[in-house]
Amino acid sequence: MTRDEAAEAVHTIMEDHKFGKSGDEIVIEEFLEGPEVSVLSFTDGNTVVPMVSSMDHKRALDGDQGLNTGGMGTIAPNPYYTEEIAQRCMQEIFLPTMKAMNSEGRRFKGCLYFGLMLTKDGPKVIEYNCRFGDPETQVVLPLLDTDLLTVMQAVTEERLSEIEVSWKKAFAACIVIASGGYPEHYEKGYEISLPQGDHQIYVAGAALKDGKLVTSGGRVLGVTETGNTLKEAIDKAYETAKQVKFKDMHMRSDIGQRALKAYAGEDR
Ligand code: GLY
């Protein structure tokens, strides 16, 4: 957040070698501020079809406090990603990205991930990934109405412009359940007890050991539920997540709260 903090970080990375050789080279970027939006897209190298937008929650603790993680939970659609911003992103970011990749001979077919920040100067790219995002996919694909295999075939056969990709008029929330101590030191090997009934629970840092599901990583499970309102999706996801049990488990209790305020017009 400050120049001193940035200088200290460079010192730790380049002189104390906190990340070993990976820290021998660094990139200094403009500091961007604003709501973050993840937009995954299908592309066959010619056409880009954005998926429903989503919002990740990167920090380990409630109120966006604590260390950065791989993502502690997501909601979709993202309230900040209005139709107007979507059109701007298509013209200023998505299509130019495809054009630039093609002109460099790097034609790409698959899922292209745009990590965006909506700054006061407009949408800017934070990161690209040539894969689905985690935990964004856990809230995006449950809202896909079109058969995924049909879309994937259209992608590989370069027929994406010929099919319609449609989305459910619904909301989704995913609560990540992590090992206590993540993203720093945490223990592994704790037995996991799952809720009864039919739920969408995605396994990340867990493994089968002697026929039992045990923790094996930092982010252990992602619990997704959908609903007709965002609040319904969030409430259901927490209800299911709270039925998961393992020693020292940790989850944020405010996933989706900022989005709820934004939908209510209280955080714009
Ligand atoms: N959620 C960010 C990523 O998948 O890299």
Q: Which of 56, 74, 116, 117 to mutate to test the pocket of ligand 1 (most atoms within 8 A of CB)?
A: 56
Task: Round to whole Å and give the CA distance between 200 and 220.
Answer: 14
Give me ligand 1 centre to Cα 133, in Å: 4
Task: Round to whole Å and give the CA distance between 238 and 54.
Answer: 18
Cα 103 off chain centre by: 29
Q: How buried is 98 (Cβ within 10 angstroms: 0-12 exposed, 13-18 middle, 19+ buried)?
A: buried
Mean pLDDT of 70-75: 96
Q: Which of 134, 137, 139, 140 to mutate to test the pocket of ligand 1 (most atoms within 8 A of CB)?
A: 134
**Is a pLDDT exceeding 70 seen at residue 178?**
yes
Cα 191 off chain centre by: 26
- pLDDT tens digits for range 91-142: 999 999 999 999 999 999 999 999 999 999 999 999 999 999 999 999 999 9
Q: Is the CB of 58 under 6 A from ligand 1?
A: no
Q: Is the CB of 129 under 6 A from ligand 1?
A: yes
The overall average pLDDT reported for the chain is 96
Q: Which of 36, 37, 38 to mutate to test the pocket of ligand 1 (most atoms within 8 A of CB)?
A: 38
Mean pLDDT of 20-45: 92
- pLDDT tens digits for range 49-58: 999 999 999 9
- pLDDT tens digits for range 196-226: 999 999 999 999 999 999 999 999 999 999 9
Q: Is the CB of 44 under 6 A from ligand 1?
A: no
- pLDDT tens digits for range 146-165: 999 999 999 999 999 999 99
Dihedral sign for Cα 78, 52, 109, 133, please. Answer: positive
Closest residue by Cα to atom 3, ligand 1, is 133
**Is a pLDDT exceeding 80 seen at residue 189?**
yes
Give me ligand 1 centre to Cα 99, in Å: 24
**Is a pLDDT exceeding 80 seen at residue 64?**
yes
Higher pLDDT, 126 or 267: 126
Q: Which atom of ligand 1 is nearest to the CA of 131?
A: 4
Whether 212 and 109 have beta carbons less than 8 Å apart is answered as no
Task: Round to whole Å and give the CA distance between 6 and 12.
Answer: 10
Q: Is the CB of 73 under 6 A from ligand 1?
A: no
pLDDT bracket for residue 180 (50, 70, 90): very high
- Of the chain, the percentage scoring pLDDT greater than 70 comes to 100
Least confident of 21-25, 29-33, 223-227, 232-236: 29-33
**Is a pLDDT exceeding 80 seen at residue 248?**
yes
pLDDT bracket for residue 268 (50, 70, 90): low
- pLDDT tens digits for range 2-14: 899 999 999 999 9
pLDDT bracket for residue 19 (50, 70, 90): confident
Contacting residues for 47 by C-beta, under 8 A, at least 6 apart: 160, 161
Cα atoms found within 13 Å of the Cα of residue 21, Cβ hemisphere only: 0
Specify the pLDDT at position 255: 98
